Amino acid sequence: MDMDNLLRRYFGSDDLAQVNAAAIPAATERMLVDLGLKKDPAERFALWSLLYMLGSAPDLDVAFEDEADREAARNFMDLMIKAQQQQE
């Protein structure tokens, strides 16, 4: 699932900076519901990743049944932390 498509689907724009801050909680709630309904691992990971970047991702053991998916999520979190540290 393409991140730009996710942003357009839930926020109406592929530029999060243009999204009204008041719209973020409702969009986040829809993403959490969809995360619970999706069966495709790639779609679930994409949703979880966006939720993580927004600070709303559920815990790994809740979001992913498979240990390999949890490990991929841990790797993603590590990459995001390193990217943030490089910006500082």
**DSSP H helices in 12-87:** 24-37, 41-53, 60-63, 67-87
Q: Contact, 35 vs 48, CB < 8 A?
A: yes
Q: What tokens were used for 66?
A: 């498979």
Taking only the tens of pLDDT, the chain with its 88 residues reads 688 999 999 999 999 899 999 999 999 999 999 999 999 999 999 999 999 999 999 999 999 999 999 999 999 999 999 999 998 8
Residue 73's contacts (CB-CB under 8 Å, 6 or more residues apart) are 45, 48, 49, 52, 60, 63, 64
Give residue 1's pLDDT: 65
Rounded to whole angstroms, how far apart are CA atoms 54 and 27?
11
Give residue 88's pLDDT: 83
